[in-house]
Amino acid sequence: MARLVAPDKGVREVKIETETRERIYRPDKGGVYSVENKKHANHMKQEGFIEASLLGGASTAGSGFICSACGFHGFFRKCGRCQHETTDIQMDSTIEGEQ
């Protein structure tokens, strides 16, 4: 089964006509279309739909630096908020309490 996302939030449903009937796909609450037919999924991809990410977001949680002056979380040693140069150790990417 393919999980696809529309190229625009304005898309409410997709109608695909087959030889025998018309198939209508509607998104779930998250805006993801679940398509079981591979031909229909390929047709929707040709129309601009993209595969939904199953991971949620970028895995940048826990990476970067914490400014020792203002506490801002950034990806560079030089703070983007107060311009202070951080000399502390980079943020740990492990969850506290987990070894």
CA–CA dist 42, 61 (Å, integer):
34
More confident residue, 11 or 61: 11
H-only helix segments in the chain: 38-46
- Express each pLDDT in 13-39 by its tens digit: 999 998 999 999 999 988 899 999 999
Q: Report the chain's terminal Cα–Cα distance, integer Å.
A: 36
pTM of the model: 0.53
- Residue 63 · residue 76 · CB < 8 Å: no
Q: Where are the domains of the chain?
A: 2-51, 58-99
DSSP state for residue 85 in the 8-state scheme: B
Sign of the Cα pseudo-torsion (74, 78, 83, 88, in order):
positive
Side chain identity, residue 79: C
CA distances (Å), 33 to each of 29, 46, 48, 99, in order? 10, 15, 13, 38
pLDDT, one tens digit per residue, over 34-72 is 999 999 999 999 999 999 876 555 555 567 788 888 888
Query: What's the pLDDT at 97?
Result: 47
Residue 99 predicted with pLDDT over 50 = no
